[in-house]
Amino acid sequence: MTDTKTDYDDVAAYDFQLPRELIAQHPVEHRIDARLMLIDRASGEIAHHYVRDLPEILQPGDGLILNDSKVIPARLTGIRTSTGGKWEGLYLRSDQSGVWEILSKTRGRLTVGETISLRDREGRPVPALTVVAHLQDGHLAVRPIEEAGEDILESFGRIPLPPYIRDGQMVDSDIEDYQTVYARNPGSVAAPTAGLHFTQDLLKHLQSKGVLTIGVTLHVGLGTFRPVSKGKLSEHKMHNEYAELSPVAADKLSECRKQNGRIIAVGTTSTRVVESAALQTGAALQAWEGNTDLFIRPPYQFQAIDALMTNFHLPKSTLIALVSALAGRDLTMRAYAEAVEQRYRFYSYGDCMLIV
């Protein structure tokens, strides 16, 4: 499909009106019962299915790229030991020396050497973190206190839901719901949400029909969901995220391509892994490991994927720009308008689309 004359770089070109009641607050009861919009790039046709229809939609030899990163309990709450004031934090990453980088929220400015007490499962404050330094973008460097336990996140952390889901307030069911069934590499602060639609039974059914499943890793950080604050996409800076396309996964993808199967990325994060690998190595479907700040937006030319399964994203976001790079901006926005009209459920716990 050919787009009309549009300024691809203008953030406003990716805006749409979304009724608040279409933002999913809970997943459907059965993952495979989520709706799936099928978009054909060649014809521009849009059809309506369910995730459970994938075994009939996909073909033997197709390869599904799955991001196997696991969401960690990165959301922390506690108090400042010095003032007794409330404190909230989000774990982002740690270095080899054991120092953590966190996003910190509290009244006033924490001082270097100050202690933060975290609340345990019974709500009791336990001294757990010491402030080491102030970093850029309001981030904080802290060091865990050994007496708090070896795995502070498991002891004190909670799943960090996006703010548009119940204002970020987790319930017990989110522990399972906000995690893919194939998650195995801990490191993400948000779920690769397109993968939330799969069950083990669906994956087995697809594999029995000759569809390959290939695991890659991208630890989802804040950069993926950071709002575009500028008027032009080209002025937006993506944060680095760790990604890996292993030699085994690269071989499977290459075999899929040799057999004329389609390479289908499940999610924008899986897309960024294989496209980053192609750019870094100079060849599609080559093994690679490293940090990526790749921002895929029109008129990006894809080197690795043939199709994309993804959820419905926020207006004017980097994610809807990525979708537009594959499907074309006009077809993407027409699909989003139809999704609103047909009352699809949006965002992390919502429905999905498959662009072929």
Per residue in 199-237, pLDDT (tens digit) is 999 999 999 999 999 999 999 987 666 778 889 999 998
Task: Compute the half-sphere exposure of residue 272: CA atoms within 13 Å on the CB side of its CA.
Answer: 32
Among candidates 169, 293, 278, which has minimal Cα distance to 239? 293
CA–CA distances in Å: residue 175 to residues 17, 70, 269, 310: 31, 11, 21, 21
For residue 255, the domain's CATH number is 3.40.1780.10
Regarding whether 54 and 177 lie in a shared domain, the answer is yes
Domain boundary among 109, 131, 156: 156
316 occurs within a structural domain: yes
Q: 34 with 177, same domain? A: yes
Residue type, 92: L
Instruction: Specify which residues 263 forms β-bridges with.
Output: 63
Q: What SS3 state is found at 91?
A: strand
φ, ψ of residue 24 in degrees (nearest 5): -65, 130
Q: Does 335 reside within a domain?
A: yes
User: Residue 53, Cα to own-chain centre: how many angstroms?
Assistant: 23
- The answer on 129 and 35 residing in a single domain is no
Query: Cα separation of 209 and 199, whole Å?
Result: 16
Domain termination residue (choose one: 99, 124, 156): 156
Residues 235 and 298 in one domain: yes
| Residue pLDDT, tens place only, 251-289 | 999 999 999 999 999 999 999 999 999 999 999 999 999
**In a domain? residue 257:** yes
Tell me the CA distances in angstroms from 328 to 58, 200, 321, one per residue in order: 22, 32, 9
Orientation of helix 318-327 relative to helix 329-341, angle to 10°? 110
Q: Residue 112 burial (CB < 10 Å; 0-12/13-18/19+)?
A: exposed
CA nearest 93: which of 225, 224, 188? 188
User: Quick one: 133 and 105 in the same domain?
Assistant: yes
**Assigned domain for 128 exists:** yes
Do residues 199 and 306 share a domain?
yes
The string of DSSP letters for 247-284 reads HHHHHHHHHHHHTT--EEEESHHHHHHHHHHHHHHSST
Q: Output the pLDDT for position 137.
A: 79
Write down the pLDDT at residue 82: 86
CB 124 within 8 A of CB 221: no
Query: Do residues 116 and 215 both lie within one domain?
Result: no
Rounded to whole angstroms, the Cα distance separating 50 from 354 reads 10
pLDDT 10s digits, 318-354? 999 999 999 999 999 999 999 999 999 999 999 999 9
Compute the distance between CA of residue 150 and CA of residue 25 in angstroms, rounded to an integer: 33
Q: Domains in the chain: how many in total? A: 2
Of 153-162, 174-183, 201-210, the one with minimum mean pLDDT is: 153-162
- Answer yes or no: pTM beyond 0.75: yes
Q: What is the pLDDT of residue 239?
A: 85
User: Are 132 and 203 contained in the same domain?
Assistant: no
Q: Do residues 222 and 328 share a domain?
A: yes
216 & 349 share domain: yes
Structural domain contains residue 36: yes
Q: 290: phi > 0 → left, psi -120 to 50 → alpha, else beta; which? A: left
CATH number at residue 120: 2.40.10.240
Amino acid at 130: T
Whole-number Å distance between alpha carbons of 82 and 111: 10
Structure-block tokens of residue 333? 């926005």
**How far is residue 24's CA from residue 22's CA, in Å, rounded to a whole number?**
6
Give residue 120's domain range.
75-156
**Residue 337 CB-half CA count within 13 A:** 8
Q: Is the pLDDT of residue 2 over 60?
A: no
- pLDDT at position 164: 92
Is residue 164 included in any domain, yes or no? no
Residues for the chain: how many in total? 356
**102 and 234 together in one domain:** no
CB-based contacts of 123: which residues, under 8 Å, 6+ apart? none
Same domain, 66 and 99: no
- Residue 64 maps to a domain: yes
Q: What percent of the chain has pLDDT over 70?
A: 97
The answer to the question of residue 187 being in a domain is: yes
Cα dihedral 232, 227, 268, 238 in deg (nearest 10): 70
Average pLDDT, integer, range 138-158: 87
Structure tokens at 275: 């496209």
